[in-house]
Structure 1
Amino acid sequence: MDLLALRYFQTVARLEHVGRAAEKLRVAQPSLSRTLARLENDLGVPLFDRHGRRIRLNRFGTAFLRRVDRALAELDDARQELDDAAGLERGTVAVAAESLLVLTEPLRTFVPGHPLVDLRLSQASGEGMAEKLKAGDVDLCVTSQPLTGDDIRSRVLLDEAVMLCVPAGHRLAGRGRVGLADLEGEPFLTTRPGYWQRALVDRLFAKAGLDLHVVCEGDEAAVLFQLIDAGLGIALVPALGLRAVTGSAVVWLDVDDPECRRVLSVAWREDTYLSVAAQRFRDHLVGHFHARAEPRSG
């Protein structure tokens, strides 16, 4: 049993597909299959149930994967800790967020000063981010909804109002402030279930006893304003989006409900080693958003 065999097993176990694992690992499929066979021979038990070209982790493989994940994570943490102790501020920092738009400005001020840090970004729902964090696939998550887990810690980046965005000329455009009852029957643009915008509008409408009429579900925040401007519908958008509006004549309105807010946080696992580079990016995020914090009224 060697380290390479364990990493090969981990990848195949997560994908449960030898072909896709070989592509990801950039090795020949026959070589990968032989490595897995030698590992099973060394352990004395099969790790997968094989049905033709399909494989599934069996109870031995599931138990072994838990130990392998823990052992490889410890080795990766040890290597990063040694690099940090030697003053080598480098490595990869993986960050997941519901919307990558919130990261553009912090990245603009972080990247030039940290040329040796390899930042890797991905987009996911709240549930997807929690899974990535627990699996060790990402170091940090920037989230607008709580991530559950005893070992997950977070810091608030921004607590801001969520506003109503309507097309110019809309019947509500001149109101300045609206109540939830004013929105009944309106066509809404929002995200797919699992993202914070959808959770917020679902919660607000359910509380008010209103039916939500969704005409568009999407994840491209930059396109949202063009769709509103085109007259497709209205949307709840965080106040941070005011800075992102370009080339559209949308109108922003306050919503008369104290729960119509977004709390943006950065989350990480407390039970694993967080590299110096990841710590610095986390602290940079905190400093960036706190410098631009919106004062809360009342």
Structure 2
Amino acid sequence: MDLLQLRYFRMVAHAENVSRVAEELRVAQPSLSRTITRLEAELGVPLFDRQGRRLRLNRFGAAFLERVERALDELDGARRELADLAGPDQGSVAIGAENLIVVQHVVADFVQRYPGVRVQLFSGTAAQVAARLSAGEIDLGVVSKPLDIPGLAERKLLDEEVLLAVSLNHPLAHRDRVAVAELAEESFITTSADYWQRTLLDRVFCRAGLSPNIACEGDEPAAIRHLIATGLGIGLLPAMSRDYPGPPVSWLRIDDIHCRRTLHLVWRQDAYLPVAAQRFREMAAERFARDRPGDP
């Protein structure tokens, strides 16, 4: 067996979907399937239970995955540690976030200070960021939803109020604050339940004994403000959004002291953290401490 087989196996084992992994890797699905089949033949046992096109990791696969994870983590850690020893300013750092806008200023500062370091960015849900961390595909994650996963360390970057954004011609646009009960008939623009915005919206309404009316739900957090500005609906946005360029909207506070979000930087405790990632972690903490948004 070779390293490529093991890396492919790990990805398929986590996704339990050959088509999805093949698309992500940009390889032909039959080729990926043959790679897994050859690995199983070499090991002498099936690693997956197959039901039509669906795969499910079986007990052999689960046991093998545990060892593969350990072996690949050690090899990746050794490679990155050697890169640090050869020249800490020539390494790399990979970061995942639910919305890359939240790290744009830190990335800009980092690239300016360490131009020789290769920076990779990935966006996705908190669960996808966690999966990439677990697989060793990224060094750091920036998330707003708690990651209840053993072995992760975290540092709080920001605790901020979440505001209600409405279009400039909305009847509430002249208000400074609003009660949740007043929003019962409003149409909301939000994300899918995989993102923190939707989770928070549901919780805020649940505390008031209500359910939000969803007019638009998607997987593009950055598009919410633009859609709100068109008058399609209203939505929740973090206070820091006021500092980002975008179409003008009116900002209101919601009468719910729990309408807040906490931004965390997370990393694996059991994996080697490259010098570049350590430096990015410190720069992120410093930048967010310096740029904490004030109340409206």
TM-score between both structures, scaled by the size of structure 1: 0.85
Post-superposition shift, 1:226?
2.6
Distance 1:178 1:283, change over 3 A: same
Q: How does 1:240-251 map to 2 (within 5 A)?
A: 240-246=240-246, 248-251=247-250
Alignment check: 8 A CA contact 2:91 2:116 kept:
yes
| Aligned equivalent of 1:257 | 256
Alignment check: 8 A CA contact 1:159 1:294 kept:
no
Does residue 1:287 correspond to 2:286, yes or no?
yes
Distance 1:290 1:48, change over 3 A: same
Post-superposition shift, 1:164?
1.0
Post-superposition shift, 1:100?
1.3
| Aligned equivalent of 1:113 | 113
Three-state SS of the structure 1 residue aligned to 2:88 is coil
Q: How does 1:11-26 map to 2 (within 5 A)?
A: 11=11, 13-14=13-14, 17=18, 21=22, 24=25
Distance 1:46 1:226, change over 3 A: closer
Three-state SS of the structure 2 residue aligned to 1:89 is helix
State the aligned residue count.
Answer: 295
How far, CA to CA, are the matches of 1:173 and 1:263 in structure 2? Answer: 26
How far, CA to CA, are the matches of 1:95 and 1:155 in structure 2? Answer: 15
| Aligned equivalent of 1:187 | 187
| Aligned equivalent of 1:163 | 163
How far, CA to CA, are the matches of 1:250 and 1:138 in structure 2? Answer: 35
Alignment check: 8 A CA contact 1:163 1:236 kept:
yes
Amino acid at match of 1:103: V
Amino acid at match of 2:141: C
How far, CA to CA, are the matches of 1:32 and 1:25 in structure 2? Answer: 13
How far, CA to CA, are the matches of 1:208 and 1:34 in structure 2? Answer: 53
Post-superposition shift, 1:153?
1.2
Alignment check: 8 A CA contact 1:98 1:126 kept:
yes
How far, CA to CA, are the matches of 1:31 and 1:180 in structure 2? Answer: 51
Alignment check: 8 A CA contact 2:77 2:271 kept:
yes
How far, CA to CA, are the matches of 1:23 and 1:183 in structure 2? Answer: 41
Bigger Cα displacement from structure 2, 81-90 vs 145-154: 81-90
Amino acid at match of 1:259: H
Percentage identity across aligned positions? 47
How far, CA to CA, are the matches of 1:124 and 1:270 in structure 2? Answer: 22
Does residue 1:199 correspond to 2:206, yes or no?
no
How far, CA to CA, are the matches of 1:31 and 1:210 in structure 2? Answer: 48
Three-state SS of the structure 1 residue aligned to 2:189 is strand
TM-score between both structures, scaled by the size of structure 2: 0.86
Q: Which has the larger radius of gyration?
A: 1
Post-superposition shift, 1:229?
1.9
Distance 1:29 1:177, change over 3 A: closer
Amino acid at match of 2:82: L
| Aligned equivalent of 2:64 | 64
Three-state SS of the structure 2 residue aligned to 1:148 is coil
Distance 1:20 1:211, change over 3 A: closer
Bigger Cα displacement from structure 2, 24-33 vs 262-271: 24-33
Three-state SS of the structure 1 residue aligned to 2:92 is strand
Bigger Cα displacement from structure 2, 276-285 vs 51-60: 51-60
Alignment check: 8 A CA contact 1:18 1:33 kept:
no
Q: How does 1:1-298 map to 2 (within 5 A)?
A: 1-11=1-11, 13-14=13-14, 17=18, 21=22, 24=25, 33=34, 37=38, 39-40=39-40, 42-48=42-48, 57-246=57-246, 248-294=247-293
Distance 1:58 1:108, change over 3 A: same
Post-superposition shift, 1:237?
0.9
Alignment check: 8 A CA contact 2:18 2:32 kept:
no
How far, CA to CA, are the matches of 2:149 and 2:54 in structure 1? Answer: 32
Post-superposition shift, 1:227?
1.6
How far, CA to CA, are the matches of 2:135 and 2:87 in structure 1? Answer: 27
